[in-house]
Structure 1
Amino acid sequence: MTAAIHPRLQPHFDTVIARNPGEAEFHQAVFEVMQSLSPIIGKFPAFAQWSIIKRLCEPERQIIFRVPWVADNGEIQINRGFRVEFNSALGPFKGGLRFHPSVNLSIIKFLGFEQVFKNALTGMPIGGGKGGSDFDPKGRSDGEVMRFCQSFMTELYRHLGEYTDVPAGDIGVGGRELGYLFGQYKRITNRYESGVLTGKGLSWGGSKVRTEATGYGTVFFAQQMLATRGESFEGKKVLVSGSGNVAIYAVEKVHQLGGTVIGCSDSNGYIVDEAGLDLDLLKDLKEVRRARLSEYAEARPGARHIADGSLWDVPCQIALPCATHNELPLDAAKSLLDNGVQLVAEGANMPCTPEAIDLFREASVLYAPGKASNAGGVATSALEMQQNASRDAWSFEDTEARLEQIMSDIHTRCVETAAEFGAPGDYVTGANLAGYIKVADAMVALGVI
């Protein structure tokens, strides 16, 4: 990690490290925020006090539990479940559930910490949290996934509620998993409390645009960034890492705005299609057949699949990392710069390493951190909560218009905050300070709790 933390804040960061040993991802997330806090020491000294920072870096509640379930072959399986309820100063805890073998406490804490500031930037009344399990739904039957989800919710339900904690989906948790989770919650509580989970199916309380929201929102934010330099997506070559929900709908919106996505990736490599990705084929592969991207190249003339190397070696003007944390390291950032990248906007959570971020900022590349650029998903989850509370359902067009306005407002908030604190055009400073100040102000108002 190259850039320094202010000397007055360094002891606080050292204490966070000491209190949370071995949690590298959480340390990185805290570091990236504390890097930006120097300007508030003079202007808002109360917000830079250890009493605020210490509470912000300590979750209100950390829940770890055993998840036993029975596989189709009759063998008993054991996974570990997590829910980190990080900060509720602005509203009920809000953040997704991730089912992936890599899940551990450090990853859930980093995601929850990021979520606090991301949710603050949306302007919606929601706090931050995150959860999940090291369960891998890939290759599991529907029955196995159902039994796991039911066991997971049997423990988690007691900590949830529309005014307490409202999970959503994340990696490995889509409509199928959310359906099983909500069904078990309804069965245990004997309540149809539709506002307790978001990302639900449209026939049982979900919101239109929620599926598309994170990907669409990332592109809307990038569109606002380009506009500051008199540019647009028209005619631009774009790379989108990943091929899950966020990536697919980022591709869709880029194409709608006149750009051409020429590559995406999965865990087995990446594809390059200079003519522009065939979105129907991509959706069929990933959303219907749950197949590998190598099959895209087999079905699409002119496309090629590369099993080794990095997607970020492909020349482009715009890069949208939408896969997972730390997927874009320093060498990838150098490759992007050498090939003329103009803008990087994070669709995933913390996909760029600190060294890569420093390089982009030094090169004056337009760079947006995920807590700003990928906030569209949780913002639309909050809109889903509104619809559930009012027993209403909005049209796709109305909901998308609200999402676009929210992303525009986040962009404005970041730009104005960065300028206010002497860092014009720096989205990292703008996003971190705007989110931090809003949460810290609420925490001061609520007292020591």
Structure 2
Amino acid sequence: MRVIEPLYAEILRRNQGETEFHQAVREVLETLDPVLERRPELVDARIVERTCEPERQLIFRVPWSDDSGDIHVNRGFRVEFSSALGPYKGGLRFHPSVNLGIVKFLGFEQIFKNALTGLPIGGGKGGADFDPKGRSDAEIMRFCQSFMTELHRHLGEYTDVPAGDIGVGGREIGYMFGQYKRITNRYESGVLTGKGLGWGGAQARTEATGYGCVLFTAEMLRTRGESLDGQRVAVSGSGNVAIYAIEKAQQLGATVVTCSDSSGYVVDEKGIDLALLKEVKEVRRGRISEYAELRGSHVKFVPGTGLWNVPCDVALPCATQNELHETDALALVRNGVKAVAEGANMPTTPEAVRVFQEAGVAFGPGKAANAGGVATSALEMQQNASRDSWTFAHTEERLAEIMRHIHDSCYTTAERYGTPGNYVVGANIAGFELVADAMLAQGLI
């Protein structure tokens, strides 16, 4: 860590108060010493320093009026982190917790996640501290139009291509795309991904992050001579990623017994009823307790935290950052967990990751395990560029190929650097080397 420690100290000094960004950077930097020892040209070119500094950080005002005519002012963000491999690519998050540090952490992770896909996309992220919950469609439309009025000047299919994230789904993407089209007078369908199927969207994009997480998990288990068939799975969250992780796990023969939201979690020993969960969360936009009420007396709803005390073979944290702590990891290990894969971005704290690694649990970090969403977004861009549209089966097949490629790249890189089975090291180094080589080739920019 002789190169890394002074660099990290400088990052802390220059980015004060951005704790999530500090955590994400530290998690990558502490794995890079072996690369820098083998490749001194990366040190001489200050590749690490340049990778940790965004190419561009945008902060802007988003004024809008609610249905009563009252005026609100939110703050919008877009961090265009790295274009070494392609146009900036990453989602937009609408949530009250959004601040510059969170957007930078997400954008930094996105650099390496996007690199691992093997597709020509750079890394970026954005969003606003706007809470869409409880807002009418008209209010959300006005907010999205105001947000895009400012952001549009920084976007383009060869420049920066946002997508959805927490709080930003097909409805929000539609409103933003419409405003972009109106302002620019161009039908540039490749400028946003996550669009509706009738106007440039890709089949399987909705399912891709959850499906990809489970496919990555299946590959980890395969290296140990196992499969998901017959495994007991715990999933956190009940949003898009969690729902489709549950769906794919069930398709592969697993029994998923948990899901959650901010109010608590449910334990369904018969296996989550996916149709009912979709009804509650996607149609009614209700709380997870409603699932328990409708499902029957055998389902237990538990308010608050504690989901990871439920015994399982496989754990898939799919809710939000830093949701799985050291005590949770210890409980999972005690109960015999075999594999953990991050469906959300950085949901596992560093202390919890160490617990899993020391116990020999297969651990898939988010930049590898949840890359299926952005990979399918890149496939959507490909279809838009060629004025084409693929079937669900073809897109899912391409997703499965990409997830296998990501797994194998992480696995072989970890072996090459003397840490077999360590997917954190494998993912960080494999992604970093791809970006670093491109930066070296492109000169001091």
Which category of TM-score, normalised to the shorter sequence, fits these structures? over 0.9
Corresponding residue number in structure 1 for 2:7: 12
SS class of match (1:212): helix
Q: Does 1:382 align with 2:382?
A: no
Q: What CA distance in whole angstroms lies between the structure 2 residues aligned with 1:62 and 1:120? A: 20
**Alpha carbons 1:40, 1:48 under 8 Å: kept:** no
**Alpha carbons 1:112, 1:129 under 8 Å: kept:** yes
Corresponding residue number in structure 1 for 2:300: 304
Q: Does 1:117 align with 2:112?
A: yes
Q: Name which of 419, 423, 436 aligns with 2:419.
A: 423
Q: What CA distance in whole angstroms lies between the structure 2 residues aligned with 1:201 and 1:384? A: 11
Change over 3 Å in CA distance of 1:89–1:119 after alignment to 2? same
Corresponding residue number in structure 2 for 1:192: 187
Deviation at 1:42, TM superposition (A): 2.3
Q: What CA distance in whole angstroms lies between the structure 2 residues aligned with 1:101 and 1:42? A: 42
| 1:229-255 Cα shifts (integer Å, max 9, x gaps) | 110111111011100000000000000
TM-score (norm 1): 0.98
Q: What CA distance in whole angstroms lies between the structure 2 residues aligned with 1:411 and 1:309? A: 31
Q: Which runs of 5+ in 2 are unaligned?
A: none
**Alpha carbons 1:37, 1:48 under 8 Å: kept:** no
Deviation at 1:50, TM superposition (A): 6.8
Worse-superposed segment, 42-51 or 334-343: 42-51
Deviation at 1:309, TM superposition (A): 3.2
Corresponding residue number in structure 1 for 2:164: 169
Q: What CA distance in whole angstroms lies between the structure 2 residues aligned with 1:103 and 1:279? A: 30
Corresponding residue number in structure 1 for 2:217: 222
Deviation at 1:272, TM superposition (A): 0.5
- Percent identity reads 68
Corresponding residue number in structure 2 for 1:89: 84
Change over 3 Å in CA distance of 1:49–1:263 after alignment to 2? farther
Aligned length: 444
Alignment of 1:118-133 (within 5 A): 118-133=113-128
Q: What CA distance in whole angstroms lies between the structure 1 residues aligned with 2:126 and 2:305? A: 32
**Alpha carbons 2:53, 2:81 under 8 Å: kept:** yes
Q: Does 1:392 align with 2:403?
A: no
Q: Does 1:135 align with 2:130?
A: yes
Q: What CA distance in whole angstroms lies between the structure 2 residues aligned with 1:384 and 1:89? A: 20
Q: Name which of 385, 392, 400 aligns with 1:404.
A: 400
**Alpha carbons 1:246, 1:347 under 8 Å: kept:** yes
Deviation at 1:64, TM superposition (A): 0.2
Q: What CA distance in whole angstroms lies between the structure 2 residues aligned with 1:221 and 1:309? A: 26
Q: Does 1:180 align with 2:186?
A: no
SS class of match (1:211): helix
Q: Does 1:367 align with 2:363?
A: yes
The AA in structure 1 aligned to 2:428 is N
Alignment of 1:204-219 (within 5 A): 204-219=199-214
Q: Does 1:339 align with 2:335?
A: yes
**Alpha carbons 2:193, 2:380 under 8 Å: kept:** yes
The AA in structure 2 aligned to 1:317 is D
The AA in structure 2 aligned to 1:43 is R
**Alpha carbons 1:97, 1:130 under 8 Å: kept:** yes
Q: Which runs of 5+ in 1 are unaligned?
A: 1-5
Q: Name which of 81, 101, 104 aligns with 2:99.
A: 104
Corresponding residue number in structure 2 for 1:151: 146
**Alpha carbons 1:63, 1:83 under 8 Å: kept:** yes
Corresponding residue number in structure 1 for 2:16: 21
| 1:241-287 Cα shifts (integer Å, max 9, x gaps) | 10000000000000000001000110000000000000000001111
Deviation at 1:308, TM superposition (A): 2.8
**Alpha carbons 2:268, 2:300 under 8 Å: kept:** yes
Q: What CA distance in whole angstroms lies between the structure 1 residues aligned with 2:42 and 2:112? A: 14
| 1:153-172 Cα shifts (integer Å, max 9, x gaps) | 00000000000000000000
